[in-house]
């Protein structure tokens, strides 16, 4: 089967000049052929994601076309007709894949709205809602290394698609061949005939207006004289982030020159992820040179943002958990002070996100919702409020992986509104003679030092995927009774949808959707969560430790991490 597919691609994959030489180069390398053809890229609620190259297990124009034909068939069968919004980031071939997506949709009679330039994830989510589209497509691999690209699918609500929709699309894709089953239309002809339309300035302005509506102390930001270093990490955030900062009066913004313009090779960092210090190295150096107050860094599709803050003469990187807690505390305290807090306010976080959030919500009378990992689940909570006409009750949602949202105008994480609020918050506290680190330390002094860390373990290739599955099955079937000499008092299996009291044996149903997530709660209050990544060949560990001091917390976390790492054996 693998060789049959390989030979088919040798004959038919002729439109992209990069693919045939790659296929010919592996002709005498059966393992290389197998890696490209042993499976098709899996389409799920996160869409597609994979290495760019030739084969069914790669991102290329043929896998993109096939996925899009499946979406087109699903839309036409389910709705009779429809429209789709498209955006793309700076990754290699993102613009090509976006146009190929538009060509297939247009050939199937589906109206397309496409941005005339690269734009972030939140702008795609917004356009899908604003233009009342049936679905949306974002061409991106988020913060993965340069060799990756991907294809995120969105529903009409602006959230990434549900399992039900994904299953419908998967069924449609399963009937197709990537060469013979795909309808195509010339892009320029589709534009000429009105099947493909460019998204206009009015949509940009509507998005900016919605972001600005989330500002609480813009006047303080404008008068602060705050100095910012910003890096879009060669991605899509450069235009919208700088525009929104200008509109709240922060004009002293220095952009890291080597990372300013779109470049899918990401030449200054192997991993364009604002969670990683190496990606922020040039930004921190520029901060030190210019004496700026704050570093902002958005990832290539500008849905995540990381920061470094000047504190005691140095630049301290804050985690996604820390920034999320700070933003929630700032939004809640300031909205209460200004009398704009809604009745029964709601905040949403994922189950792998900081428990300090719970303490902040208790302080301000906020209803906290815990959801599965994935921002679409935060979006779903907004939709539930929207159904009751109560969407304004939602004040903030975030996940530990540097994704934040204030407002209901989009249903995915938004680094543009987060950048605005981070700068505004920092300027506000600065006017009071405090830094955001001072405020964070005050929270730790009050509630204990909440340390949340993560570890990832890669499982590349076909065997790696099999090993991941085997490890998760083993951990589910035989949960650990103790870790590092400390009893496990509670074990939650989100795939089996059950929590087990390891002391009494009592079982409690989990009402969240099924997901390959395992959670351990220890007798000392420490927690650990294990899950396979939804977008990369990795198993991720999340560790949660609460102690009186940072030193004690880091010591406890190190022991917890060492013990759980030992579980990664088959």
| 402 in any annotated domain | yes
- Given a cut of 80, whether residue 203 has pLDDT beyond it is yes
Residues 61, 109, single domain; the answer is yes
Please report the pLDDT score of residue 457 as a whole number: 85
Please tell me the distance from the alpha carbon of residue 359 to that of residue 283, in angstroms, as a whole number: 33
Model pLDDT for residues 229-287, shown as the tens digit of each residue: 999 999 999 999 999 999 999 999 999 999 999 999 999 998 999 999 999 999 999 99
Does 433 share its domain with 464? no
So which residues are the catalytic ones?
142
- Asked if residue 143 and residue 34 are part of one domain, the reply reads yes
Rounded Cα distance, 114 and 520, in Å: 45
Residue ranges making up the domain that contains 16: 2-199
| Two tokens, residue 169 | 């699309």
**pLDDT for the residue numbered 568:** 74
Both tokens of 511, joined, read 């009402």
Residue 131 has pLDDT above 70, yes or no: yes
Task: Please indicate, yes or no, whether residues 396 and 528 belong to a single structural domain of this protein.
Answer: no
- Chain center to CA of 181: 32
Of 447, 480, 509, the residue at which a domain comes to its end is 447
Domain boundary at 447, 471, 502, which? Answer: 447
Same domain, 167 and 264: no
> By percentage, how much of the chain surpasses pLDDT 90?
85
460 plus 538 within the same structural domain: yes
Minimum mean pLDDT range among 166-170, 334-338, 480-484: 480-484
pLDDT at position 469 is: 86
217 shares a domain with 115: no
The pLDDT of residue 81 is 92
Query: Is 138 a member of any domain?
Result: yes
Neighbours of 540 (CB within 10 A): 19
Which residues are within 8 A (CB) of 208 and not within 5 positions of it... i.e. 6 or more apart? 240, 243, 244, 247
Please report whether residue 513 resides in a domain.
yes
The domain spanning residue 16 has which CATH number? 3.40.120.10
Burial classification of residue 132, based on how many CB atoms lie within 10 Å of its CB (0-12 exposed, 13-18 middle, 19 or more buried): exposed
What tens digit of pLDDT does each residue of 340-381 get? 999 999 999 999 999 999 999 999 999 999 999 989 999 999
Helix (H) / strand (E) containing 330: helix 320-338
Tokens encoding 22: 């790659």
Do 135 and 161 belong to one domain? yes
Q: What is the mean pLDDT of the chain?
A: 95
In a domain, 129, yes or no: yes
* pLDDT surpassing 80 at residue 143: yes
- Looking at the fold, whether 8 and 72 belong to one and the same domain comes out as yes
d(CA 476, CA 514): 13
Q: Is the pLDDT of residue 570 over 70?
A: no
Which of 76, 97, 68 has its CA nearest to residue 183?
A: 68
| The token pair that represents 366 in the structure block | 């906020």
The span from the CA of 187 to the CA of 499, in Å, is 52
Residue 428 resides in a domain: yes
User: Which tens digit of pLDDT belongs to each residue from 82-94?
Assistant: 999 999 999 999 9
Q: How many domains in the chain?
A: 3
For residue 534, the Cα-to-chain-centroid distance in whole angstroms is: 11
Question: Looking at the structure, do residues 262 and 387 belong to the same domain, yes or no?
Answer: yes
How much is the average pLDDT of 429-440? 96
Residue 302 lies in a domain: yes
Domain identity same for 498 and 380: no
Q: Same domain, yes or no, for 487 and 437?
A: no
Domain of residue 456, CATH code: 3.30.310
Instruction: Answer yes or no: is 570 within a domain.
Output: no
The reply to whether 237 falls in a domain is yes
- The arithmetic mean of pLDDT across residues 189-211, rounded, is 98
pLDDT at residue 484 in the model: 82
Please write the tens of the pLDDT for every residue from 513-525. 899 999 999 999 9
Confidence category of residue 534, pLDDT binned at 50, 70, 90? low
Is the separation of the CB atoms in 59 and 48 below 8 Å? yes
Q: Say how far residue 315 (Cα) sits from the centre of its chain.
A: 25
Domain endpoint, select from 180, 199, 218: 199
CA 425, CA 436: separation in Å to the nearest integer?
Answer: 8
């Amino acid at each position: 089967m693998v060789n049959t597919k390989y030979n088919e691609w040798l004959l038919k994959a002729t439109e992209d000049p990069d693919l045939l030489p790659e296929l010919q180069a592996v002709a005498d390398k059966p393992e290389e052929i197998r890696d490209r053809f042993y499976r098709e890229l899996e389409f799920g609620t996160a869409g597609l994601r994979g290495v760019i190259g030739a084969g069914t297990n790669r991102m290329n124009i043929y896998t993109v076309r096939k996925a899009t034909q499946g979406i087109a068939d699903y839309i036409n069968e389910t709705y009779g007709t429809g429209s789709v919004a498209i955006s793309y980031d700076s990754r290699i071939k993102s613009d090509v894949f976006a146009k190929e997506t538009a060509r297939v949709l247009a050939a199937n009679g589906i109206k397309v709205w496409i941005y005339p330039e690269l734009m972030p994830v939140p702008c795609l989510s917004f356009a899908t809602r604003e233009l009342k589209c049936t679905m949306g497509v974002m061409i991106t691999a988020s913060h993965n290394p340069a060799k990756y690209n991907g294809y995120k699918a969105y529903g009409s609500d602006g959230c990434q698609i549900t399992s039900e929709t994904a299953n419908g699309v998967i069924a449609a894709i399963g009937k197709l061949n990537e060469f013979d089953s795909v309808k195509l239309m010339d892009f320029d002809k589709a534009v000429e005939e009105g099947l493909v339309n460019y998204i206009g300035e009015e949509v940009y302005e509507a998005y900016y207006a919605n972001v600005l509506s989330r500002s609480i102390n813009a006047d303080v930001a404008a008068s602060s004289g705050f100095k910012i270093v910003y890096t879009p990490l060669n991605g899509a955030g450069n235009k919208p982030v700088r525009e929104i900062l200008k509109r709240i009066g922060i004009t002293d913004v220095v952009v890291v020159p080597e990372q300013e313009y779109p470049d899918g090779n990401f030449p200054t960092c192997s991993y364009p992820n604002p969670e990683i210090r190496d990606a922020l190295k040039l930004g921190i150096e520029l901060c030190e040179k210019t004496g700026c107050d704050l570093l902002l860094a958005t990832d290539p599709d500008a849905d995540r943002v990381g920061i470094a803050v000047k504190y005691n003469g140095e630049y301290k990187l804050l985690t996604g958990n820390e920034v999320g807690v700070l933003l929630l505390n700032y939004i809640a305290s300031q909205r209460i002070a200004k009398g704009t807090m809604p009745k029964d306010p709601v905040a949403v976080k994922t189950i792998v996100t900081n428990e300090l959030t719970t303490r902040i919500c208790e302080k301000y009378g906020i209803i906290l919702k815990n959801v599965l990992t994935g921002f679409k689940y935060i979006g779903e909570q907004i939709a539930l409020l929207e159904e009751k006409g109560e969407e304004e009750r939602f004040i903030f949602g975030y996940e530990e992986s540097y994704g934040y949202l204030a407002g209901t105008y989009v249903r995915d994480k938004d680094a543009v509104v987060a950048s605005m609020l981070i700068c505004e918050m920092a300027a506000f506290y600065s006017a009071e003679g405090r830094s955001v680190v001072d405020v964070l330390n005050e929270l730790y002094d009050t509630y204990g030092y909440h340390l949340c860390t993560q570890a990832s373990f890669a499982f590349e290739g076909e065997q790696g995927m099999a090993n991941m599955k085997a490890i998760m099955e083993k951990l589910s079937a035989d949960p650990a009774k103790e870790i590092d000499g400390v009893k496990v008092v509670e074990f939650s299996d989100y795939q089996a949808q059950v929590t087990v009291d390891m002391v009494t044996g009592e079982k409690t149903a989990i009402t969240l959707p099924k997901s390959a997530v395992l959670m351990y709660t220890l007798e000392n209050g420490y927690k650990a969560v294990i899950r396979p990544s939804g977008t990369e060949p990795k198993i991720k560990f999340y560790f949660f430790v609460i102690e009186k001091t940072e030193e004690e917390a880091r010591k406890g976390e190190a022991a917890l991490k060492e013990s759980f790492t030992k579980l990664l054996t088959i």
